[in-house]
Structure 1
Amino acid sequence: MRTIHLRFYLWYKLLNALFLGCSLGSVFIIYAPLSPKIYSIGGIALAIGAWFLTFLYAKILKEKPYKVILLGIELIPFCYILTYLLFPNTFFGALLVYCLYQITFIFGDYLGRAETLIFAKNTLLSSLDKRKQIGYLLGLGIAFVFYTLLESKNITQKESQIYLLHFLLFLLQCGVFFTLFYAFTKRKNV
């Protein structure tokens, strides 16, 4: 844990959860063109992918692989934001966004386990989870206010609201990635 800048990592946890809270409702609109069968196939792929990942735990449940994998995973939201902005409300766009989300979900258990091992102190884990819950609540509130503001401007079509939300999500993800990158950047001891 000596090489992780804790203050920025705590900001990362807050902003990451804020992003999740803001984006939560959007998937219902984005995934509308998909058949329910796709969710079954995606769930199977998710379970198999996560299962295969468990065979690598002996090598990757360490700080250095955790950093590399987490930074890689945090690049994926840029891909699904861009995908949705380029292919809004289409089957292709929905399918691609769904696949990208599934990739991030494959690593969910691993990331949780690695974080628990890396930040092994109860008080530290409590601080991380508190930031996560605060960020999630703030994100849900920001999304509510965002949609309310759009409605006050007579932008009531759900697809238009979700499209505009993705510009806010892009800015949030920039903050998420910056704080995570900075948390993992080595600095000289002062």
Structure 2
Amino acid sequence: MRYLIYLLPLMFFITACGGGSSEQEQQAESTATEAQSSADQSSDVRTIEITGVDQMKFVVEGEAEGITIGDPVAGGMPLLETITASPGEEIRIVLTTESDLPASAMAHNFVLMTMEADVQAFVNAASKARDNEYIPSDMSDQIIAHTDLAAGGETVEVTFTAPEETGEYEFICSFPGHYAAGMKGILKVE
């Protein structure tokens, strides 16, 4: 207690002297500049916001350039069917899961498969890869890009470059049962 009497004035003195130096201010400005530079670089990346819902579907807010939508699913949000991209185009997928269920019962990811992938074999192997977020490590050669799993209220993202080869590339959710329920779509590179 006796030390507290000496400690309080010392703390007041340290804080009253400004606490920050011009070096710290320069570092803060540098960090802000780097963040802005990063934001400027990512502005060339097309971002597609997707929602994973309890009905085991990918949905979007509505129509947007470069996507094809289907009938409304959850809360009137339309089903995401197709994403169209140019060869070599950079795309960012931002996936948010809307669910009140526990993560062990309902979580979603976005997995973009290669054109040659055996999607059904991948899905079968994924169901046994719980410890690796349902991504079978021995089949990584069949994946172009993927997100982590997102439970209810969580958001994950991945940025990738569309393949140079034109064609159709399937994207799926690899959480058990979701692909079979229709949680899939096509990236059409043309």
Using the size of structure 1 for normalisation, the TM-score is 0.27
Larger radius of gyration: 2
Question: Whose relative contact order is higher, 1 or 2, with alpha carbons under 8 Å and at least 6 apart?
Answer: 1
TM-score by length of 2: 0.27
Q: Which has the higher helix share?
A: 1
